Chains A and B, each alone.
Chain A
């Protein structure tokens, strides 16, 4: 147990060293997109619009938080591992070291979680400029942490499967980008026809933004969505383990 914790920290340590050296650049680049969304949709377009009885800015902030958690976690966990595996080829060193696949997967995931949380915290701070800070309840933090795990596991999974840099960007364009716009981040799902809602509920980000929104706006909390989110996380983690075991065949 202690050995496993130590191994997980070793895996995380190496990514933290990198983060410490590049924190400003990293933070700046991950914040550009959400701040632009906030300005364009929340502040610019959304003025005077009301959704579900809230000002659009109030409505959209939790969505953008979910979005930031997703992209930041996915990129942080996925991109570094992807580079380690295919370009620096140093990931083999981890596979040849006396540590378990479990420690490798969790260790590589944690850097995504750390960076996802840093980015969302910075985003919330930036939101202060436009509106009073949404209520940050323990439930909000819980959902945020779970979301960061889900998308970090996904990042690790895709990075383990990618055979080239192109695979990575194809996944970004075909899955991450559509998810960004469709998962109820910018609009309310309640206005949509039932079949569309069913399809969108297959996307983890949908549940992430639903939960975060409910937690901030004091709506009834969609516990099922949180459960689905945990389910996604477990599935992605399990897939990572399978892929790692299969690579050594």
Chain B
């Protein structure tokens, strides 16, 4: 399979802080790859390097075979980016925002028009194209940014925390959109600090902590590593103890061996949060 993103010893330092440390990564064509980690883990910095907004301190990164530091212009042509924060020109309508991006990608007038209509329909915003982006809801703005990022038919789409701050239904609609895009052939690199987002969307997940990649693999593979079943017990009514078992039987045997005064016991499937806790001793939200 073709590699869309490759990094070798990629490191990015800001003064003394190492935002990304010695990252070695390969993202294959057609994947939805997720970077999971708490805020401040270096996820956004990694995306900024891939999208040419920041230069690596050392090491290299290639996007569709082009070196991000040496051939930024070639990289810019094949990527689409949806930043974490809202980044639409709020003095303009949605169509004007899209038109501007299309112009920056040297599309001619007929192509611009056609593509805008097509993409507004794709993200379900056809009726809102002429509205000022200020008037759109949070979910619509995110969808609008996705539509804009697709103007140049990118080979790889970077989504930085795509559903942060959105309600559950909107989030699920965006997940559908992201899956649809991927099915239609776009490779997707996304970052998230939502466990369920990584599990629901990503073919492979890299877990990052303090700028380092601490685990990498398919969600099921990662869960197998710690144990597919988790037992949570409330110890002395104070803190939760997590224990991991390869299967339900092993977990049940353990639960039966617990003293009678342990009252709160939860047996459940392990998730990516457990992997994160197991590897770092912290919850994802604890940053």
Residues of A near any B CB (own CB < 8 A): 3, 6-7, 10, 13-14, 17-18, 21, 84, 88-90, 92-99, 248-249
Contact A10 B83 (CB under 8 A): no
Contact A98 B104 (CB under 8 A): yes
Contact A90 B55 (CB under 8 A): no
- Which residues of chain A are within 8 angstroms of B53 by Cβ–Cβ distance? 92, 95-96, 248
- Which residues of chain A are within 8 angstroms of B52 by Cβ–Cβ distance? 95-96, 248
Contact B96 A14 (CB under 8 A): yes
- Which residues of chain A are within 8 angstroms of B55 by Cβ–Cβ distance? 248-249
Contact A249 B54 (CB under 8 A): yes
Interchain CA distance A10-B105 in the complex, whole Å: 10
Q: Which of B66-102 contact A (CB under 8 A)?
A: 73, 76-77, 79, 81, 83, 85-92, 96-97, 100-101
B225 interface residue per 8 A CB criterion: no
Interchain CA distance A162-B77 in the complex, whole Å: 29
- Which residues of chain B are within 8 angstroms of A97 by Cβ–Cβ distance? 76, 101, 104-105
Contact A99 B89 (CB under 8 A): no
- Which residues of chain A are within 8 angstroms of B85 by Cβ–Cβ distance? 89
Interchain CA distance A18-B83 in the complex, whole Å: 23
B113 interface residue per 8 A CB criterion: no
Expressed in whole angstroms, the minimum distance between the Cβ of B90 and any Cβ of chain A is 5
Given the known inter-chain contacts A10-B104, A90-B87, A249-B55, please indicate yes or no for A96 contacting B81, CB distance below 8 A. Answer: yes
Expressed in whole angstroms, the minimum distance between the Cβ of A152 and any Cβ of chain B is 19
Contact B76 A96 (CB under 8 A): yes
Contact of B89 among A84, A95, A96, A249 (CB under 8 A): A84
Contact A98 B92 (CB under 8 A): no
Most chain A CB neighbours (cut-off 10 Å) among B52, B79, B89, B106 = B89
| Number of B positions contacting A (CB below 8 A) | 28
Given the known inter-chain contacts A96-B76, A96-B81, A98-B77, please indicate yes or no for A88 contacting B87, CB distance below 8 A. Answer: yes
Interchain CA distance A17-B97 in the complex, whole Å: 11
B187 interface residue per 8 A CB criterion: no
Given the known inter-chain contacts A14-B96, A18-B92, A249-B55, please indicate yes or no for A92 contacting B87, CB distance below 8 A. Answer: yes
Contact A14 B92 (CB under 8 A): yes
Interchain CA distance A71-B183 in the complex, whole Å: 52
8 more contacts with CB within 8 A, not counting A13-B100, A93-B87, A97-B104, are: A7-B104, A10-B103, A17-B96, A21-B91, A88-B86, A93-B148, A96-B53, A99-B104
Interchain CA distance A94-B97 in the complex, whole Å: 12
- Which residues of chain A are within 8 angstroms of B96 by Cβ–Cβ distance? 14, 17
Q: What sequence of 0s and 1s flags, for each residue 194-214 of chain B, a beta carbon within 8 Å of any chain A beta carbon? A: 000000000000000000000
- Which residues of chain A are within 8 angstroms of B100 by Cβ–Cβ distance? 10, 13-14, 93
Question: 29 A-B residue contacts at CB 8 Å?
Answer: A6-B106, A10-B103, A14-B89, A14-B100, A17-B92, A18-B91, A18-B92, A21-B91, A88-B86, A88-B90, A90-B87, A90-B89, A90-B97, A92-B83, A92-B87, A93-B104, A94-B104, A95-B52, A95-B53, A96-B51, A96-B53, A96-B81, A97-B76, A98-B73, A98-B106, A99-B104, A248-B52, A248-B53, A249-B54
> What 6 pairs between A and B have smallest CB-CB spacing?
A97-B104, A10-B103, A98-B76, A89-B87, A90-B89, A14-B100
Given the known inter-chain contacts A98-B77, A248-B54, A249-B55, please indicate yes or no for A13 contacting B103, CB distance below 8 A. Answer: yes
